[in-house]
């Protein structure tokens, strides 16, 4: 007959087996050396210990939030009229660049190549590769709508975590084209862009898809190499956010070489980690006429300080200078649109609303309140685009 083993007995037997394996003692000797099974549970705490612990601060998250509350960003936006706003912007933009790790002093030749071209009915898709800096190339897909007057407005579309650029162009693992509306938080937003008549450069971000390290590629299609690359960047005094922003700037360099593109009408668009780089690129590159940020915009306090995120979100020391809504102010008086899901659990809606209100005041100080747009959709951590594309039509 099988005897039912209570959980306490099971834990004790497991501990004895572990002790025997670790020490080389016979099981009987290991059993004799082990304390009573009750010792597997935490020992009772005395009233004095409980009272003492109640007065102590042991929670890491609460400590981080307490530190946040002591920080007074030195470049927080306080201007009330356009001239002062522009003076602030010049200082803040230089500091943000510095915090990101700086950008190369010179632009290396792009040496761009088109590797393949495919006809997908309403648009063509070119696989392109180009150089962004010494020892680093970028790759992506340029989607060009057919039967639209040239030159075209253009969008640099930036993917977030997942399968990388394949998620936003609807490319299946076997290389076939997925139907519109296939599942996923990105909802193939690069395809949505080209179907609305925009030349769309879907750029693979460093650490995703075709730009992962060998270990990530062997692990599977959704495994990224953000963590080892982003943390290595910190050792060099640089950041993954800075690396990706420079890549996006070089993608604009490439777009303006294409005769199909109107260099005066360029936008950036991305969700989640793509939203991060869309915002930073729009903040730092005046060639971006409109930035679209989805599933990202928030306060640092409510998002990456409070909730576990990939290290590619963190820029050392940035909060000493500015909050995320101040970064948004670097886009003004050009246009910026932000959308957030009411049920986004990693970029909570309350933080998004708070950040949007601050950003709206900054755009108003520049005299351009209509160039900041904000929408809440009823979804989760995902791209929606309904109001974003309406805003793009007006601003681009």
Q: Is residue 93 a contact partner of residue 85, using CB atoms and an 8 Å limit?
A: no
Q: Is the pLDDT of residue 247 over 90?
A: yes
Q: For residue 14, is it left (φ>0), alpha (ψ between -120 and 50) or beta?
A: alpha
pLDDT at 306 over 90: yes
Q: For residue 262, what are its two tokens?
A: 């109107």
Residue boundaries of the structural domains of the chain: 7-52, 87-395
0.75 cut: is pTM over it? yes
- The answer, yes or no, to whether residue 78 has pLDDT greater than 50, is yes
Q: What sign for the dihedral angle of Cα 123, 158, 111, 137?
A: negative
CA max distance for the chain? 87
230: CB partners within 8 A, 6+ apart = 207, 239, 240, 310, 311, 312, 314
Check residue 348 and give its pLDDT: 98
The CATH code belonging to domain 87-395 is: 3.40.50.1820
Q: How far apart are CA 247 and CA 203, in angstroms?
A: 9
Cβ neighbourhood burial of 38 (10 Å; 0-12, 13-18, 19+):
exposed
Q: Is the pLDDT of residue 64 over 80?
A: yes
- Indicate the Cα dihedral angle 384, 386, 387, 388, nearest 10°: 60
Contact 94, 283 (CB under 8 A): no
Q: What is the pLDDT of residue 38?
A: 52
Average pLDDT, the chain: 91
Per the document, the length of the chain is 396
The pLDDT confidence band at residue 12, using thresholds 50, 70 and 90, is very low
* 56 neighbors 305 (Cβ within 8 angstroms): no
Q: How many CB atoms lie within 10 A of CB 227?
A: 14
Q: How far apart are CA 197 and CA 145, in angstroms?
A: 6
pLDDT of residue 295: 98
Cα-based torsion angle of the residue sequence 278, 98, 92, 328 in order, rounded to the nearest 10 degrees: 20
DSSP-derived secondary structure for 22-62 = HH---HHHHHHHS--GGGGSPPPPPHHHHHHHHTS---HHH
In the numeric block, the tokens 């601050």 are attached to 358
- Phi/psi class of residue 384: alpha, beta or left (left: φ > 0; alpha: ψ in -120 to 50)? alpha
pLDDT tens for 322-347 read 999 999 999 999 999 999 999 999 99
Q: How many CA atoms lie less than 13 Å away from 77 in the CB half-sphere?
A: 29
Radius of gyration for the alpha carbons in the chain, expressed in angstroms and rounded: 26
């Amino acid at each position: 007959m099988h005897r039912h083993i209570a959980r306490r007995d099971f834990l004790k037997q497991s501990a004895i087996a572990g002790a025997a394996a670790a020490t080389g003692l016979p099981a009987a000797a290991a059993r004799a050396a082990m304390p009573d099974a009750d010792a597997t549970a935490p020992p009772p705490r005395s009233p004095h210990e409980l009272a003492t612990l109640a007065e102590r601060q042991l929670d890491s998250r609460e400590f981080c939030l307490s530190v946040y509350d002591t920080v007074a960003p030195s470049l927080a936006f306080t201007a009330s009229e356009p001239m002062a706003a522009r003076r602030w912007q010049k200082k803040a933009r230089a500091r943000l660049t510095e915090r990101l790790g700086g950008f190369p002093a010179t632009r290396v030749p792009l040496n761009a190549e088109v590797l393949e071209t495919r006809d997908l009915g309403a648009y063509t898709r070119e696989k392109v590769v180009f150089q962004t800096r010494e020892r680093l190339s970028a790759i992506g897909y340029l989607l060009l709508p057919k039967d639209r007057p040239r030159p075209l407005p253009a969008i640099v579309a930036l993917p977030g975590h997942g399968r990388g650029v394949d998620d936003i162009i609807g490319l299946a693992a076997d290389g076939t084209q997925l139907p519109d509306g296939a599942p996923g938080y990105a909802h193939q937003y690069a395809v949505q862009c080209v179907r609305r008549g925009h030349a769309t450069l879907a750029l693979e971000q460093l650490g995703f898809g075709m730009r992962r390290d060998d270990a990530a590629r062997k692990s599977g299609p959704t495994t990224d190499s953000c963590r080892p690359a982003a943390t290595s960047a910190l050792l060099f005094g640089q950041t993954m956010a800075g690396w990706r922003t420079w890549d996006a700037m070089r993608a604009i360099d490439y777009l303006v070489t294409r005769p199909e593109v109107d260099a005066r009408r360029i936008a950036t668009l991305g969700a989640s980690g793509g939203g991060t780089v869309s915002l930073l690129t729009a903040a730092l590159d005046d060639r971006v006429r409109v930035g679209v940020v989805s599933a990202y915009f928030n306060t640092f306090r409510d998002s990456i300080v409070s909730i576990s995120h990939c290290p590619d979100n963190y820029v050392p020391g940035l909060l000493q200078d500015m909050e995320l809504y101040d970064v948004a102010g670097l886009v003004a008086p050009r246009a910026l649109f932000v959308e957030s899901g009411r049920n986004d659990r990693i970029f909570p809606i309350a933080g998004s609303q708070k950040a949007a209100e601050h950003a709206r005041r900054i755009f108003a100080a520049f005299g351009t309140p209509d160039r900041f747009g904000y929408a809440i959709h009823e979804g989760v951590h995902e791209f929606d685009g309904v109001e974003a594309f309406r805003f793009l039509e007006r601003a681009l």
